Chain A
Amino acid sequence: MTDAPAIELRRISKAFGPVQANKDISLKVMPGTIHGIIGENGAGKSTLMSILYGFYKADSGEILVNGRETPIPDSQAAIKAGIGMVFQHFKLVENFSVLENVVLGAEEGAFLRPTLAKARRHLTELAREYEMNVDPDAKIEDLSVGHQQRVEILKALYREANILILDEPTGVLTPAEADHLFRILRGLKAEGKTIILITHKLREIMEITDTVSVMRRGEMTDTVRTADTSPQDLAERMVGRKVLLRVDKTPAQPGKTVLEVKGLRVTDSQGVERLKGIDLTVRAGEIVGIAGVAGNGQSELLDVLGGIRAATGEITLNGQPLSLSGPGSDARARRRAGITHVPEDRHRLGLILDFKAWENTGFGYQDLPKYCAGLMMDNRALREDTDAKMGRFDVRPHDPNLAAKSFSGGNQQKIVLAREIEADPDLLLIGQPTRGVDIGAIEFIHQRIVELRDAGKAILLVSVELDEIMSLSDRIAVMFDGRIMGERLPAETDETELGLLMAGMEGRAA
């Protein structure tokens, strides 16, 4: 029986209406291996894993666990079959402790106390075994993202999962945290556990997986041994054509100072100081990248500049002071002043998902004369403009009447980008430009950002992807704990130095 695959999928198909999300997918994952699944957004990775975890029912095909046919109608059945899942967006109760979260749904009996006591012992063992130290009594909301993820893994292990599925696990981690996660995964593998890793990061696939499957348009196009492939090769298999992994750009020609920030401070509603005196300049024709682990004040910086959050300090745009609180400091005033904003979280801020694409084109610009006639919206002008923008930004499907939520992540981002870039800003704020965006679209988005820079605009880029910061920025500022730890030129630094700065340590002397 040891030769039976831990997971075998036979001709799995799943359609949503006319969309064939998974088509005839067969896959074998051997026990004790790490298997990567890569593919662009909308390639069907998540659907496939949801079928495996019992969230969706396949239209046809069968699932075999350890060589035995195992129907998985719901997630309870998946857990029983020894499958555990760590979602991209954690499913934890924020104000419960680690221990409570781990036993949630696996309580035995009407009283919690015996379960908790047992779980505490078990949890300590697991934590020791796999180097996953977390305080069982800490509240989830007090934990770092990396620790929260460990809780998710512990939750699966507590339920005796032998097969662990991780969906884009490193999206929210620092390089160091990601390394630690990989050590944990290797430890699990050594214990004979099987791991399925869904990611779009080629580097991770190369670093940790034994075998890798490529998905494209609902089909599993290739399964290869990781040792036999290269990032370039995988990228081409994913997209189905040649892609540029590096950003093609000429040296910057910085002009006059566009944005000047002095002593910027922000205190949040809980009284915690999020920005502790930021000084920063961005000149015309340059891209300044802010590197840092999520949650170190980058979002607050973007929010203040974008007019979403009040602050104290001084900001000038083209020499004109901007007000930082009260009337005249809102997003409308910022747009009028010439700052446009591609927000980090396009679902929460940048788009109204239920609105149609053309309605989203006017979002934030609803009072521009070209979009309205008196008190009325000029819906026809909006539709026509959206149609043209969709053409220029290659948004697919090219249909202004489709709701924003019906587009893939990359195309949603293009809708936001088209709106904010074509508003002709002096300063473009752009947060996580390629989060959840497929490789083909990343290339396109990066090119547009560089084009805007070459047109003499100032760009402030915030990203947690170091690769992106390194390849796109003309100057890099690293943020840690609400401060700027230092500025570097991309040519004169490397990931190790930036990583140290991101962790709050002074970089080595250059």
Chain B
Amino acid sequence: MQKLPTWADVVLIPVINLALAFLVSGLVILYIGENPVHALEVMVNGAMGSTRGWGYTLFFATNFIFTGLAVAVAYHASLFNIGGEGQAALGGLGVALVCLAVDWPFWWLALPFAVIGGALFGAAWAAIPAWLNAKRGSHIVITTIMFNFIASALMVYLLVNILKAPGMAPESRGFPDGTNLPTAFDVLGLFGIPFNKFAPLNVAFLVALAACWGVWVLIWRTRLGYEIRAYGKSEPAAVYAGISPVRIIMVTMLISGGLAGLMGVNAVMGEAERLTLDSVQGAGFVGIAVALMGRNHPVGVFLAAVLFGALYQGGIELEFEIPAISREMILVIQALVILFTGALDGMVRTPLERLFVSLRRKGAA
């Protein structure tokens, strides 16, 4: 029997979690002598008060959608892929190599190849932990997290020794103009809708939406998705049904890594237009919170990604507007949101379940 009605699980709990996170954040802001209401105002306004705010919010959200979907897909097979950070970094490398390899004439020609490059490199980076898990039983959490460090070291090596453009910074040369993705300003401009010219939101957002749809189809409509979910619920039962665990682990992790790798299309190709060292910026880890909050459903992942995007953008505004609130303070607020929506989920869930059960009992009596 379901303890909670679906709406409470999907809407009420995240809202309460979020409210709690903001409440505690408010106390922290109060403690350093600032006005929490004003701070909230600045955040909300900064993230959603202008097309510029939205342009950044949805740009960040695009990153989080990719990494969130990566975690969600793996989760359905009961695999906890926390290597999104490394897979996204390698995905960025894949995207960069595609963009640099050819003097692309048009962005729409470059985009599909960049998507393939990003997904392929992300998937390849997930393939080794997946293989170790499938064949040797190494714990996927341990191996994927260690591969984040290896990825980071690899990127430093490549950007310092191989791909480095002349100059001081450890970054590749800029991509050819033919790879520059149209931004929201360009696209919406075609329809006469005004949008901020400098916001980084670009067509990779549409790729992210397509990925959401694709993941939904994969998990709930395809035979592979059926097998992934069956394996995720019970490995012995999957074996009984003739589903090969090795195959499911490999395929799922390749898809998961590929999704994380797609982040490069947005961050590297869409914004930086060159490969830099910090292209991922923790989005791989935010993806875990996004998947958790989004209940591993693409729609939930999308909504949670937008929320975290707003939080990022609002945080940057806050740091800018109220000097007393430092970069570290923003991190604290973001961490509190992750803590309350992710780790402390049960704190709200259990009392709420009791409440609903007793309400129902009264209703039945």
Contacts and interface: CB of A to CB of B under 8 A. Distances in A.
Interface of A: 15-19, 59, 306-308, 330-335, 341, 343, 348-355, 359, 362-364, 366-367, 372, 375-377, 379, 406
Contact of B233 (A343, A352, A367): A352
Nearest to B239: A308
Interface in B205-254: 221-227, 229-230, 233-234, 236-237, 239-244
Interface of B: 1, 221-227, 229-230, 233-234, 236-237, 239-244, 360-361, 364-365
A16 B356 CA distance: 12
B231 to A, nearest CB: 10
Most chain A CB neighbours (cut-off 10 Å) among B230, B236, B244: B230
Contact of A379 (B221, B242, B360): B221
Nearest to A372: B223
B221 A306 contact: no
Nearest to A16: B1
B324 to A, nearest CB: 49
Contact of A333 (B227, B239, B240, B242): B242
Contacts of B221: 376-377, 379
A343 to B, nearest CB: 6
Given A351-B237, A367-B223, A376-B221, A332 B242 contact: yes
A21 B229 CA distance: 32
Contacts of A379: 221
Main secondary structure of the interface of B (DSSP, over half): helix
Given A349-B236, A352-B233, A375-B223, A331 B1 contact: no
Given A375-B224, A376-B221, A376-B223, A306 B365 contact: no
Contacts of A332: 241-243
Per CB-CB distance, the 7 closest pairs between chain A and chain B, nearest first, are A332-B242, A331-B242, A364-B241, A349-B240, A352-B233, A349-B237, A363-B241
Most chain B CB neighbours (cut-off 10 Å) among A334, A351, A376: A376
A363 B239 contact: no
Given A59-B361, A377-B221, A406-B1, A331 B237 contact: no
A42 to B, nearest CB: 13
A233 to B, nearest CB: 34
Given A307-B242, A375-B223, A348 B364 contact: no
Given A331-B242, A332-B242, A363-B241, A377 B234 contact: no
Given A15-B361, A15-B364, A366 B241 contact: yes
A11 to B, nearest CB: 14
Most chain B CB neighbours (cut-off 10 Å) among A15, A348, A349: A349
16 contacts: A16-B1, A59-B365, A330-B244, A331-B242, A332-B241, A350-B237, A355-B229, A355-B230, A363-B230, A363-B237, A363-B241, A364-B240, A366-B226, A375-B222, A375-B223, A406-B1
Contact of B222 (A331, A335, A377): A377
B196 to A, nearest CB: 41
Given A15-B364, A354-B233, A364 B242 contact: yes
Contacts of B239: 308, 330-331
A17 B1 contact: yes
